[in-house]
């Protein structure tokens, strides 16, 4: 038998004011787009903003559906738009937030983590993840692999 240990390194901030201006701008974009979430069933509005290497910021919000699996999360909404419109441009960072009162910053669900990981693998470089909530605290992961250590990887 062997033992494998995974250590998750997260940077925690009491306020977005402690971040650089680019990170603050990305968080503001995520908060703004969360207002456009369609969440009549859960009331849990989420916004995501993606900073591309070319300077573009792509945003997305969660979109619910009465047939629950038909809805999509904010992170994948933004991610797949970025992938379809800028297929060869690397993703630098992703910010995600909720408008729902929460004690801690919101984190991507498992499906979104796997979707983000696919792009991190594809581009061969880490994607910074910024997570926040209405309380203002911010948690940063310096890569998606950091929050999904046993990611599914398809090999032909």
Q: Would you state the pLDDT for residue 155?
A: 79
User: What's the Cα-to-Cα distance from 105 to each of 4, 8, 18, rounded to whole Å?
Assistant: 28, 16, 15
- State the DSSP code for 134: T
Per-position pLDDT tens, the chain of length 156? 999 898 999 999 999 999 999 999 999 999 999 999 999 999 999 999 999 999 999 999 999 999 988 999 999 999 999 999 999 999 999 999 999 998 999 999 999 999 999 999 999 999 999 999 998 999 999 999 999 988 888 877
Sequence-separated contacts (24+) of 87-90 with Cβ below 8 Å: 89/52, 89/53, 89/54, 89/56, 90/52, 90/53, 90/123, 90/125
- CA 93/CA 131 separation, integer angstroms: 11
Which pTM was predicted?
0.95
**The pair of three-digit structure tokens given for residue 71, joined into one six-digit string:** 């809805």
For the chain, domains (ranges, CATH) are: 10-147 (3.40.140.10)
Residue positions annotated with a catalytic role: 75
């Amino acid at each position: 038998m062997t033992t494998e240990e995974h250590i998750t390194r997260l940077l925690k901030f009491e306020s977005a004011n402690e971040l650089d201006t680019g990170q603050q701008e990305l968080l503001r974009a995520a908060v703004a787009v969360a207002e456009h979430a369609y969440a009549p069933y859960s009331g849990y509005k989420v916004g995501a903003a993606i900073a591309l290497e070319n300077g573009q910021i792509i945003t997305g919000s969660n979109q619910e559906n009465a047939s629950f699996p038909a809805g999509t999360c904010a992170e994948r909404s933004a991610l797949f738009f970025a992938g379809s419109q800028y297929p060869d441009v690397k993703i630098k960072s992703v910010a995600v937030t909720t408008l729902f009162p929460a004690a801690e910053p919101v984190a991507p669900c498992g499906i979104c983590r796997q979707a983000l990981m696919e792009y991190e693998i594809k581009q061969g470089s880490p994607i910074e993840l910024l997570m926040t909530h209405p309380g203002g605290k911010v948690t940063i992961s310096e890569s998606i692999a950091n929050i999904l250590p046993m990611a599914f990887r398809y090999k032909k």
